[in-house]
Structure 1
């Protein structure tokens, strides 16, 4: 994550912390060295939901940030089960999402009971009800996950068809809509470069938005990214992605009115008479992909699904899980193994064709 984006996340964390009890702010502060700014923001969001639920249920009379430690200490197992039911049936959270929010609470309560100390060297709380609540038993084998992902990705000829659609056909389809047509004409090189880069590298969304001009090594066709855990890595990109990036860079400065100080690779269209160019955000790129995906007839496509599409094709063509793991930046080889199941059907078809 680039420093500018990281700073924005930390500023949002600071805003959220001000809305939460003092001990939550203390806990978040202690976690800054170990968790990314994005993870801290997710924690704050999860805690907001929990404390708002406490107030809505009448377990505390006052504001969210005034909820005292003794309120947490007196919560019963049944009340916590009620909270999980609220997440499942009212907020319609999936078992995996519920587990994530429960894990955030477990981490907070563990800190309050076992790490934090008062001036008298006593723990903040002596009773930890969340420790008695078990996570949902969500066990999916790689093949099950692969089957769920299948059909939501690009396969076979669709890789190049989608790229061509973004580069050319979207404008033709919308030629009678002046606004859409003009917007596509202005941004097609940039949007094609974004799609081509994801399909030709498998980079994460945050890695795409964090790219600067200086991060590209044109001689080796690699880009420098900061992966999870703030690890620097040089990731290969396809020849087609490199070509599309070069085409975008020929129009970048003039089209987007960029000054020399702006090193962001992908920038947004300027707004207003005195508008200045700025780095595209995660959400901006998500919306770009969603727009083209819907028009292409595959609305389930997303940045993450394009990453899956790259990984599936890579494994099918190279059958090298360790290299794919490094390319995707996975910390666990088990995560990468999902793609071996995704390509089983295509490999079976290839074997059958060999008999013909």
Structure 2
């Protein structure tokens, strides 16, 4: 994303947050470091729909930006169900879109209850009504069948949710275990970069393990890898993966006490009496992904499933098997054909989903 485009999105976020309560602006500001501007703008759209619905329902008399925290605390599960019905029957949102908007709200309410604190160390919200609301169960269709075929992979908003979980939210699950919390704080940037890189490129485990610092080209957003058959290839990675890699490299040397001679991109914490730091092993990467996946609620998720996730998303949004084949390093195009499992209707939904993340609201 170029600077002008990014600045435009940030300006749009400022416009939207000016219409929202102060605590929503605070939440959005906190997420600036770990979420893309486009995703945050999409969140702001969702929040405006919700708070304007509260006003329309007479749940607060006044302006949207003045809705107090106790107005959220007094909401009942039935009122939230009414809001979800409003999305479905008045705005004609499908179940996937409703789940996405519910996810945005759950993330906000979780921040207000479990992260944000007042000056006297009390949570902003004591009661979180969103924790009582379940996501829509999606009827088993071709997309669900395809998910079973490919294994337990990430879909739609789960890409950013899982990345965000690794980067920040996991610490909430271990906040009462000082050892685990400290370990996460030590390795959060590294682990986020690993997950983000796989989700943003589809690299194999062995390819991630073998990366050196000199293999990363941030200007072209490519990494040099040795593929099967000892073939050298340059593979593109996403903008978000690039940002996460840069964040990691800013702390890599200091956090892991590395000598200049250590050229490995991903390294382990120092171990042994000599505090040796070495290249992160394949098993170590498998274990860290398993740890986060289990805590995230998708225990079947693995490094290979992250690769499947990238490929499924790429094909849904681009429908270009030859390019996907090259990106994944498949020797046979038949191997890549597994990702052609979307029907025409689902391709349309995938394209619509891309529009959902554009910088202008869709009047929903």
Interval containing the TM-score (normalised by the shorter chain): 0.5 to 0.7
**Cα distance in 1 between the residues matched to 2:197 and 2:350:** 27
8 Å contact from structure 2 (residues 227, 233) kept in 1:
yes
How many residues in Structure 1 have an aligned counterpart in Structure 2?
A: 213
Larger Rg: 1
- Post-superposition Cα deviations, 1:68-104, rounded to whole Å, max 9, x if no partner, equal xxxxxxxxxxxxxxxxxxxxxxxxxxxxxxxxxxxxx
Residue of structure 2 in register with 1:243 after alignment: 243
Cα pair distance change 1:350/1:230, threshold 3 Å: closer
Higher relative contact order (CA 8 A, sep 6+): 2
What corresponds to 1:184 in structure 2?
184
Q: Distance in 1 between matches of 2:216 and 2:338?
A: 29
* Greater mean deviation of Cα atoms: 338-347 or 250-259: 338-347
Q: Where do 4+ consecutive residues of structure 1 move more than 2 Å?
A: 143-151, 342-354
Cα offsets for 1:79-134 (capped at 9, x unmatched): xxxxxxxxxxxxxxxxxxxxxxxxxxxxxxxxxxxxxxxxxxxxxxxxxxxxxxxx
Consecutive unaligned residues in structure 2, runs of 5 or more: 1-142, 356-363
Q: Are the equivalent residues in 2 in contact too, given 1:325–1:336 (CA < 8 A)?
A: yes
* 1:177-216 matches, cutoff 5 A: 177-216=177-216
- C-alpha change, 1:150 and 1:267, in structure 2 (3 Å) is same
Q: 2:317 aligns to what SS in structure 1?
A: helix
Q: Label 1:144 to 1:247 Cα distance change in 2 as closer, same or farther (>3 A).
A: closer
Matched position secondary structure for 1:259: coil
Counterpart in 2 of 1:12? none
Q: SS state of the match for residue 224, structure 1?
A: strand
Q: By how many angstroms is 1:219 displaced?
A: 1.0
Q: Secondary structure at the match of 1:341?
A: coil
Q: Secondary structure at the match of 1:260?
A: coil
- Deviation for aligned residue 1:292: 0.1
Residue 160, structure 1, aligned to residue 160, structure 2: yes
TM superposition score normalised by structure 2: 0.55
Provide TM-score, normalisation by structure 1.
Answer: 0.56
**Residues 193 and 245, structure 2, Cα contact 8 Å, conserved in 1:** yes
Is the CA contact (8 Å cut-off) linking 1:227 and 1:233 kept in structure 2?
Answer: yes
In structure 1, C-alpha distance between the alignment counterparts of 2:344 and 2:154, rounded to whole Å: 16
Partner of 2:286: 286
Please state whether the residue corresponding to 1:285 is helix, strand or coil.
Answer: helix
Question: Which structure 1 residue ranges, 5 or more long, are not aligned?
Answer: 1-142
2:298 — aligned with what?
298
